[in-house]
A = this chain, B = another copy of it.
Amino acid sequence: MKPIILSSPAPRSLELIFTPEKLALLRSKYEVVETTDEALATLPPDQLSEARYILGQPPLSEETLAALQNLRAVLNVESNLMNNMPYQTVFERGIHVLTTGAVFAVPVAELGLGLALDLARDITAADMAFRQGSEQWGGDGNTQARLLTNADVGIIGYGDLGRALNKTLTGFNCRIKVYDPWLPPSVLIENGVIPATLDEVISTSDFLFVVAAVTSENLHFLDAEAFAAMRPGTCFILLSRAEVVDFEAMMDAAQSGKIRVATDVFPQEPMPENHRVRTLPNFIRSSHRAGALDVAFKQMGNMVLEDMELMDKGLPPMRCKRAERETVSRMQSKPVTHN
């Protein structure tokens, strides 16, 4: 008898997150019951009772959860946590709630570094000028250029993405300050970064990366006052969610020339057709493309397989990130509807 997986990974699909080889492996090791968020609760009682894993993030009632007597883990491959199951009971029972968002860390970090270098060296602007025959040659084109090497870098939020970002900066000898209220200072020090207050990070950075997840406490916490406190010419790169900034204030700060901004996320996606963000100067736009690489989705499948293998042996999962009893209900990033 193979262990049972109840699979409802929408908007992901099994084909998106597993390579053909890994999908074959999955099916050879497990009985994969493909269901939907709506239908899961209506599966035959013995399937529910025997199911070891849920792949996806279907809503679970106390009653359904009670029926899932052998459930060991919910493997949430979307990775933004919803308040759609009785987490208290889930944690009491020792059921792991696992997310795979770490797969996006490297792709997002690479785009983030690319955007930072673009802002620092006007790559996009210079190419557009060249297309139009108005390019400036040599030093004349570099009056605002700056180096990343030896620069003061700030990072707000130090989860998987912050770590990946720090790694891409290894070769640049930067002085990296980090603000993350959920981590003790010594953990940051061990990671080779300098623990700092939010004010310090905001006001003493040449490059400022925002990679904090949205929580119930940090909505719009980067506001007009924060932008006013930044060093002139700060390269500001927003990579997590638009909700953590006051987007209007951020656009104003770019428009005024106070700072330079690149963002991968927007308050509406897509933004309205004639919105000023589309032609804002000192501003680079990326349409929520930072993480959504095929190679990242395929890594989700690998993570899921590795952790199920550990849990099959009675060991704790070590690959995916575990939702925490204390913080699960504070997470506010909306799940994506589009891969």
Binding site for B on A (CB under 8 A): 91-94, 106-107, 110-111, 113-115, 117-118, 120-121, 123-124, 126-131, 133, 135-139, 141-142, 145-149, 167-173, 181-187, 192, 269-270, 273, 278-279, 284-289, 292-295, 297, 302-303, 306-307, 309-310, 314-316, 318-319, 324-327, 336, 338-339
Contact = CB atoms under 8 A, between A and B. Distances in A.
Contacts of A288: 137-138
A147 B106 contact: yes
29 contacts: A92-B92, A92-B93, A107-B147, A110-B172, A114-B117, A114-B118, A114-B120, A115-B123, A117-B117, A118-B118, A121-B289, A123-B284, A126-B287, A131-B279, A131-B285, A137-B270, A138-B292, A138-B338, A138-B339, A141-B287, A141-B289, A142-B289, A145-B293, A170-B170, A182-B318, A184-B303, A184-B307, A315-B326, A316-B327
A270 B114 CA distance: 26
A289 B167 contact: no
Nearest to A289: B141
B319 A184 contact: yes
Nearest to A135: B287
* Shortest Cβ-Cβ A-B pairs, 6 listed: A114-B117, A170-B171, A184-B306, A139-B292, A130-B285, A135-B287
Contacts of A170: 170-171
A167 B127 CA distance: 26
Given A306-B185, A319-B184, A148 B110 contact: yes
Nearest to A269: B137
Nearest to A133: B273
Contacts of A130: 278, 285-287
B126 A120 contact: no
Given A107-B147, A184-B318, 15 more contacts: A106-B149, A110-B148, A111-B121, A114-B123, A133-B273, A135-B270, A135-B287, A136-B289, A137-B269, A142-B292, A146-B293, A173-B192, A186-B319, A315-B326, A316-B326
Given A170-B170, A310-B182, A117 B126 contact: no
- Name the residue among A114, A146, A306, A324 with the largest chain B CB count within 10 angstroms: A114
A110 B141 contact: no
B187 A136 contact: no
Nearest to A279: B131
A142 B294 contact: yes
B139 A293 contact: yes
Contacts of A306: 184-186
